């Protein structure tokens, strides 16, 4: 086990420093104009909201009780009317106007603030997805897909809520507190002391709340992780759950996790419901004290140490403005909630962002088969090269493994030196263009791993793999992968039409590529024919336009495989990797598949992971792997004559001997028990690590 048994995602997430600051720097800066417009509009709208109580107070004193002059803050007295009816009309106009201003600027603020929040969210989501696609296979081996989904969905939404709501509500709160306090002090600083005495108390109370609630949020997030793991396990392993009758056990796990989540959430809410009414109580106290002291003041003159005069109008202004405090204060707990969520989400976003990508183009990477491609256009952009192009875009397809060793990196994303036990050691062989090489050996011998290295899904730990003399690490990943076709045992089909699935990877988007649609259609049909898939496709209700995948018709294993073959026919790579299916299809289908594969392999360098020894007899050479090493090599006949592992495997399959000799079985058993125990312990630790 690695010293640090958290996965890469967790490690990088915990290393993120001041995540929200980084969010503003990396994403906020380019959209800052929206934020500024939103903030300014917000301030204008809120300040306009302070006008009615002020004007009302002034009007009461000047127009109704005649106890004071008609003056307004900021506005020079010379501009104001002196006759009472005109003062009244102006007051009405001002109050009416301020509501219109509030309305208009609230609209502007809404548009700008949402533009800011959603643009940032969009950028975060697409960048995170791009980064996710660049990550090495090692990342996905850790099965962190659930977490990635959550970054793309929940975390991006949390940020949006924060950037829109929380940010603007805190701005509004700030404006209200400062604006109201200024007006109150301006009109009567003595009574203002009474009203504003609650503010420091509210501040302290909020500090206490934030300190108390923060650890509860941390605890809540960790149980959310547990809950997601429990859900994901049960869903992805549904077949195992059903066949093992463990529904009750899974329900119990989910129930436990869900109940912990409930308890953690309640513990946050309990605090929330102390805080919220507490704040309202303090605001209410401020209001009651203002009302009591102000009322006494009006009736009996300044109480206690106070000396200034208080008019009815000022008193009304005080009472109305104090009331306006309450609503934004009630938002504080929401702001804190949104802030906490956003901080955690932001850590995850940048945690994902910071995971280093190791398999990437080197600065001076060359195009595999570069010279020929520049004539015919890049193969991947849809530039049409003739079908069955003998030249394969300039790639001949000579493959050489030079003393290759490989260990699956335990936690390579965290520490590249940290590698597990070797899965391949000192593998050397070469294949000439057009050769077919069969890979044979017991399960776990390293056959798939060997070929994944050719596709550069992982990098060799030692040694080198060369295609046409170029180290695969020195050519562009794109040119390498478009020169190597891969037909997996289990074919992945996407939601879409048959035709889209066949041209996926070669003419993925016809509308964008500079190609003739009709020609591509012909090529797709041609490829399907070569893959023996045309007939069944033609018999489907909409032919090539039939939807398959999640929301379309379901295809059989044999049909899916033929689509995968058609896909590779269209790709027309110089090198081909076939993982022979072990699952049985009927004899007729098998014959069709075999025929199409033979056709496909005819003019390319082909590597077959052979499960049927008949495949080996047709190959130019076979490599027998055992425990990561090439133990035998040669043609079928040579291998039989050598009377080693191959001869034994062949004997078992041909029914000539009943079982493998004890020594092979024993060796295999030891190897597998060791590995199985190791893997099982790892899995258990993984699934029990919270979050
Ligand atoms: P084969 O194709 O011959 O059955 P593989 O190449 O799949 O063998 O596996 C070789 C060894 O590598 C096995 O011990 C297997 O457990 C291990 N292995 C395969 N894939 C991974 C992976 N993604 N991470 C860690 N170990 C792996």
User: Tens digit of pLDDT for each residue in 294-341?
Assistant: 999 999 999 989 999 999 999 999 999 988 877 777 788 889 889 988
What's the rounded mean pLDDT across residues 429-440? 91
- Cα 567 to Cα 531: distance, rounded to the nearest angstrom: 9
pLDDT of 667 reads 67
Structure tokens at 297: 């003041």
From the CB of 592, is ligand 1 less than 6 Å away?
no
Query: For ligand 1, what atom is nearest to the CA of residue 439?
Result: 3
Q: Output b/e per residue, 506-532; b: 16+ Cβ within 10 A.
A: bbeebeebebeeeebeebbbbbbebbb
Element housing 605 (H / E): strand 605-609
Rounded to two decimals, the pTM is 0.78
The percent of residues above 90 in pLDDT, for the chain, comes to 33
Q: Are residues 412 and 446 in the same domain?
A: yes
Q: Of all helices (H) and strands (E), which one includes residue 609? A: strand 605-609
Q: Looking at the predicted structure, is the pLDDT value of residue 553 above 80?
A: no
Residue nearest to ligand 1 atom 5, measured at CA: 446
**Greater model confidence, 680 or 281:** 281
* CA atoms of 191 and 317, how far apart (whole Å): 12
Taking the centre of ligand 1 as the mean of its atom positions, its distance from the CA of residue 423, in whole angstroms, is 7
Confidence of residue 22 (pLDDT cuts 50, 70, 90): very high
Pocket test for ligand 1, best of 449, 458, 645 (most atoms within 8 A of CB): 449
Domain presence at residue 7: no
Instruction: Dig out the tokens for 648 from the structure.
Output: 């034994």
Q: pLDDT value at position 512? A: 60
The pLDDT of residue 400 is above 80: yes
Is the same domain home to 620 and 510? Answer: no
Kindly report the average pLDDT of the chain as a whole number: 83
- The reply to whether 205 and 295 lie within a common domain is yes
Segment 650-673 mean pLDDT: 65
Phi-psi domain of 591 (left: phi exceeds 0; alpha: psi -120 through 50; beta: other): alpha
Picking from 550, 88, 50, 661, the residue whose alpha carbon sits closest to that of residue 324 is 50
Q: How far is the CA of 445 from the centre of ligand 1 (A)?
A: 8
Say if residue 45 is in the same domain as residue 186: yes
How many CA within 13 A on the CB side of residue 549? 15
User: Which ligand 1 atom lies nearest to the CA of residue 442?
Assistant: 3
Mention every residue, 6+ apart, whose C-beta is less than 8 A from residue 149. none
Q: 596: Cβ–Cβ under 8 A, 6 or more apart, which residues?
A: 530, 531, 532, 533, 562, 565
- Whether residues 452 and 501 share a domain: the answer is no
Total domains in the chain come to 3
The per-residue pLDDT for 683 is 44
- Based on the fold, state whether residues 332 and 414 are members of the same structural domain: no
Give the separation between CA 128 and CA 133, rounded to whole angstroms: 9
**Given the structure tokens 């478009």, which residue do they identify?**
482
For the cut 60, the answer to whether the pLDDT of residue 210 exceeds it is yes
Give the dihedral sign, CA 552/556/561/566.
negative
Give SS3 for 415: coil
Please check whether residues 530 and 415 belong to one and the same domain. no
Q: Give the domain-ending residue among 524, 545, 572.
A: 572
Output the residue whose Cα is nearest ligand 1's atom 6: 446
- Closest protein CA for atom 13 of ligand 1: 444
Least confident stretch, 31-45, 83-97, 106-120, 670-684: 670-684
Top mean pLDDT of 97-111, 139-153, 320-334 is at 97-111
Element housing 422 (H / E):
strand 419-431
Do 589 and 554 share a structural domain? no
What residue's CA is closest to ligand 1, atom 27? Answer: 408
Tokens in use for 625?
């792997």
Domain final residue, candidates 554, 572, 590: 572
Q: Is residue 44 within 8 Å of residue 61, measured between CB atoms?
A: no
> Out of 59-63, 137-141, 424-428, 435-439, which region has the weakest mean confidence (pLDDT)?
137-141
Atom of ligand 1 at shortest distance to CA of 446? 6
Q: What is the pLDDT of residues 342-396, one digit of tens each?
A: 998 899 899 888 988 888 888 888 888 775 443 333 344 444 444 445 577 788 8
158-198 per-position pLDDT tens digit: 898 898 889 888 888 888 889 999 999 999 999 999 999 98
- Going from the Cα of 546 to the center of ligand 1, the distance in angstroms, rounded, reads 36
Highest mean pLDDT among 134-143, 306-315, 665-674: 306-315
Distance 668 CA to ligand 1 centre (A): 14
In a domain, 190, yes or no: yes
Over residues 663-682, the mean pLDDT reads 58
For 443-491, how does the pLDDT look when each residue is reduced to its tens digit (9 = 90+)?
Answer: 888 999 999 999 999 999 899 999 999 999 999 998 899 899 998 887 8
Token pair in block for residue 466: 């060369």
Specify whether 622 is located in the same domain as 644: yes
Choose the weakest-confidence range: 413-417, 431-435, 488-492, 604-608: 413-417
Is residue 289's pLDDT more than 90? yes
Query: Any idea what the CATH number is for the domain that residue 552 is in?
Result: 3.40.50.300
Q: What is the pLDDT of residues 238-264, one digit of tens each?
A: 888 889 898 999 999 999 999 999 999
Is residue 461 one of the residues assigned to a domain? yes
d(CA 348, CA 354): 10
Of 494, 615, 588, 502, nearest to 549 by C-alpha is 494
> Atom 10, ligand 1: which residue's CA is nearest?
446
CATH of the domain at 289: 1.20.1560.10
> Is 408's C-beta closer than 6 angstroms to any atom of ligand 1?
yes
Residue 153 Cα distances to 65, 125, 642, angstroms: 60, 8, 58
Residue at a domain's end among 509, 537, 572? 572
User: 264 lies in a domain?
Assistant: no
In a domain, 363, yes or no: no
Q: Residue 452 and residue 395: Cα distance in Å, rounded?
A: 19
Residues found in the chain: 691
Q: Please indicate, yes or no, whether residues 499 and 443 belong to a single structural domain of this protein.
A: no
Supply the DSSP symbol for 444: T
408 alpha carbon to ligand 1 midpoint, in Å? 8
Q: Is position 542 within any domain?
A: yes
Distance CA 290, CA 92 (A): 26
Is ligand 1 within 6 A of the CB of residue 121?
no
> In which domain, by residue range, is 433 found?
390-483+574-660
Q: Do 465 and 614 lie in a common domain?
A: yes
To which H or E segment does residue 265 belong? helix 247-300
Q: Which atom of ligand 1 is nearest to the CA of 450?
A: 6
- Please report which helix (H) or strand (E) contains residue 548, including its range: strand 547-548
pLDDT at 494 over 60: yes
Pocket test for ligand 1, best of 2, 141, 444, 629 (most atoms within 8 A of CB): 444
| Maximum distance among all Cα pairs of the chain, rounded to whole angstroms | 121
CA of 628 to the centre of ligand 1 (A): 10
Q: Is the pLDDT of residue 206 over 80?
A: yes
Ligand 1, atom 14, lies closest to the CA of 444
Q: Is the CB of 448 under 6 A from ligand 1?
A: yes
Can you give the pLDDT at residue 332? 85
Short-list 117, 110, 217, CA closest to 157: 117
Minimal-distance CA residue to ligand 1 atom 26: 408
Q: At 38, is the pLDDT very low, low, confident or very high (cuts 50, 70, 90)? A: very high
pLDDT at 381: 42
Whether 586 maps to a domain, the answer reads yes
Cα–Cα distances in angstroms (integers) from residue 31 to residues 24, 121, 163, 290, 348, in the given order: 9, 11, 12, 43, 22
Q: How many CB atoms lie within 10 A of CB 533?
A: 29
Q: In this structure, is residue 395 part of a structural domain?
A: yes
Residues 75 and 164 in one domain: yes
Average pLDDT score over residue span 540-565: 82
């Amino acid at each position: 086990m690695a010293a640090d048994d958290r996965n890469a995602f967790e490690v990088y997430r915990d290393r993120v420093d001041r995540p929200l600051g980084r969010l503003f720097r990396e994403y906020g800066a380019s959209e800052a104009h929206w934020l500024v417009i939103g903030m300014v509009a917000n301030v204008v709208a809120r300040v306009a909201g302070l006008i009615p109580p002020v004007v009302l107070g002034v009007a009461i004193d000047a127009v109704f009780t005649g106890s004071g002059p008609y003056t307004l803050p900021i506005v020079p007295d010379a501009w104001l009317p002196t006759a009472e009816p005109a003062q009244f009309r102006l007051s009405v106009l001002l109050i009416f106007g301020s509501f219109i201003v509030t309305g208009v600027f609230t609209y502007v603020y809404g548009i700008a603030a949402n533009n800011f929040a959603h643009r940032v969210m969009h950028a975060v989501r697409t960048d995170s997805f791009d980064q996710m696609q660049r990550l090495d296979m090692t990342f996905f081996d850790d099965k962190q897909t659930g977490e990635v989904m959550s970054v793309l969905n929940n975390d991006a939404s949390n940020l949006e809520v924060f950037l829109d709501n929380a940010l603007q509500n805190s701005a509004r709160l700030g404006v209200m507190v400062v604006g109201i306090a200024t007006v109150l002090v301006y009109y009567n600083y003595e009574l203002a002391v009474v009203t504003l005495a609650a503010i420091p108390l509210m501040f302290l109370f909020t500090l206490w709340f934030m300190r108390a609630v923060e650890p509860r949020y941390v605890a809540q997030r960790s149980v959310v992780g547990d809950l997601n793991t429990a859900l994901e396990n049960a869903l992805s392993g549904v077949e195992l759950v059903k066949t093992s009758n463990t529904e009750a056990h899974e329900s119990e796990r989910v129930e436990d996790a869900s109940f912990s989540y409930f308890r953690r959430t309640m513990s946050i809410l309990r605090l929330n419901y102390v805080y919220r009414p507490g704040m309202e109580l303090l605001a209410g106290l401020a209001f009651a004290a203002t009302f009591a002291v102000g009322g006494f003041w009006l009736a009996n003159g300044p109480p206690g140490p106070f000396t200034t005069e208080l008019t009815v109008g000022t008193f009304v202004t005080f009472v109305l403005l104090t009331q306006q405090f309450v609503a934004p204060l009630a938002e504080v707990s929401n702001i804190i909630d949104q802030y906490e969520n956003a901080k955690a989400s932001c850590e995850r976003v940048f945690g994902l962002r910071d995971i280093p990508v190791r398999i990437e183009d080197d600065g001076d990477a060359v195009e595999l088969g570069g010279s020929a491609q520049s004539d015919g256009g890049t193969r991947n952009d849809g530039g049409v090269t003739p079908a069955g192009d003998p030249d394969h875009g300039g790639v001949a397809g000579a493959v050489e493994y030079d003393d290759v060793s490989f260990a699956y990196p335990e936690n390579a994303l965290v520490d590249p030196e940290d590698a597990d036990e070797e899965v391949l050691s000192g593998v050397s062989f070469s294949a000439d263009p057009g050769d077919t090489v069969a890979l044979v050996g017991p399960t776990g011998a390293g056959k798939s791993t060997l070929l994944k290295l050719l596709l550069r899904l992982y990098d060799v730990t030692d040694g080198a793999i060369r295609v046409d003399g170029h180290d695969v690490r020195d050519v562009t990943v794109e040119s390498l992968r478009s020169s190597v076709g891969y037909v997996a045992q289990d074919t992945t089909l996407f939601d879409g039409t048959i035709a889209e699935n066949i041209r996926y990877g070669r003419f993925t988007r016809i509308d964008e590529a500079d190609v003739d649609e009709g020609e591509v259609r012909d090529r797709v049909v041609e490829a399907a024919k070569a893959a023996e898939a045309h007939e069944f496709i033609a018999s489907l209700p909409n032919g090539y336009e039939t939807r398959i995948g999640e929301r379309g018709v379901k295809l059989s294993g044999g049909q899916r495989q033929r689509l995968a073959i058609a896909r590779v026919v269209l790709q027309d790579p110089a090198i081909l990797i076939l993982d022979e299916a072990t699952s049985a299809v009927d004899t007729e289908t098998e014959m069709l598949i075999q025929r199409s594969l033979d056709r496909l392999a005819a003019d390319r360098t082909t590597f077959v992971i052979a499960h049927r020894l008949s495949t080996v007899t047709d190959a130019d050479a076979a490599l027998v792997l055992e425990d990561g090493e090439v133990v035998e090599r040669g043609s079928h006949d040579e291998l039989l004559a050598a009377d080693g592992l191959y001869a034994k495997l062949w004997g078992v399959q041909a029914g000539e001997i009943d079982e493998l000799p004890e020594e092979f079985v024993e060796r295999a058993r030891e190897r597998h028990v060791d590995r199985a125990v190791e893997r099982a312990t790892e899995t258990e630790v993984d699934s029990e690590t919270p979050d």
